[in-house]
Structure 1
């Protein structure tokens, strides 16, 4: 376990030095998600909230900013990992991955370290901004603390597992850049971050069920805005655990098959 944690820490330090070496990077990491959040919030202004409440009973004009904010904080965790996995594919192209695989380092610890580094480096400034909004609009909360804590934990855990899965996919082949396009904007749309999934047509709801962010964001919103208990949210929690387990199994499978394929071809820098 100690060696596993050392590998995780080493990968976190490496990623930090590679991608967060300049302080100006943190400015963009703060302002870009903030602007996207504000554009979405003001996009709700022209709509009649009473009609939306026919689908989401706990959503109203006083807490809509919190509804959007909770979704975007959750989205920030997942988005940063999609981007990090996309950058991570360059390690295969430039031969870094070959050097790593020559070491006895645990492969799962390797992708976990990359995921942890990316998620916390990328979202902490946005979380600070969110804290200010929550302080201003705190009276609009109707929270169940126990459910909220579980929701926060599931957002973090599912985002890390999502990042590990994407890292393993990007390691399997360097021709996976199209996944960045497929998983970036569609996840934001179909996971209910911009538009609640409750108002989706049936075909769009079917797509939303694929993304773990859908369940994590909705669970956290219900816990913080509708005071739903752990028992009320048991289905969301159960589905989140099942999806997390599936992602872990798939990640391990791709790590093993990817390495086996590299050994067979003699190179990790080619397709």
Structure 2
């Protein structure tokens, strides 16, 4: 399997990364951070502060047990040299929010770098909002995991005065984790599901080859006669990364013939991501879960 192409050497779409944000906003549901009382340490990973502190004192050593699978996959190829140059690190909670999917806490890590005390990076730790089977909201005993990492603004700098972390590969950021799932749907999944009756197989393949590293073999839903496209709807999109595997995002939905409602079915596609050398991501492949077709 070939390595992902470099930016500028092919036409494969590269999904950019910001490398950091100015605020330690929370992953996948941006809100204005509000400082709340930190929960008392419990000695296990149901305490978000304990997870954040353990990550702060452990990374860049092994943090597999502390990391969400998608975050863990994003650590591959990351430059960690700066992390060894900061001493006297401390942790402070910067925000907290919850929605129907996740409970999240944002933390800022401060330390001494080149003789100056400054904000170093921020992280978001989160856990599913749904408690274990049969439990109430107050009985959620699921562990927290690290979801994202953002260099502090001073470490990034700006165009005129780039900081020490500028241009270096970093783990998946808060903004990137939130936006990547929509970018892939718009830039890759939707075009792959698009059926153009005036497009030859060769033209379709040429168009799709610009979207992924590996050629796509997905067949888009179409009429029984092959003369027109179906009406499609996306019902779900979620990170489906397996622990130790590449970043994957799974999209699922339905389709129906606009002229024959008995001709209908569902579709499901999974995109596998690979990091580019410039800290962006490319879609390496899109695989299909066999769609079901209506029997009418």
TM-score of the superposed pair, with normalisation by structure 1: 0.30
Structure number with the higher strand fraction is 2
Structure number with the higher helix fraction is 1
Compare CA radii of gyration and give the structure with the larger one. Answer: 2
Higher relative contact order (CA 8 A, sep 6+): 1
TM-score of the superposed pair, with normalisation by structure 2: 0.28
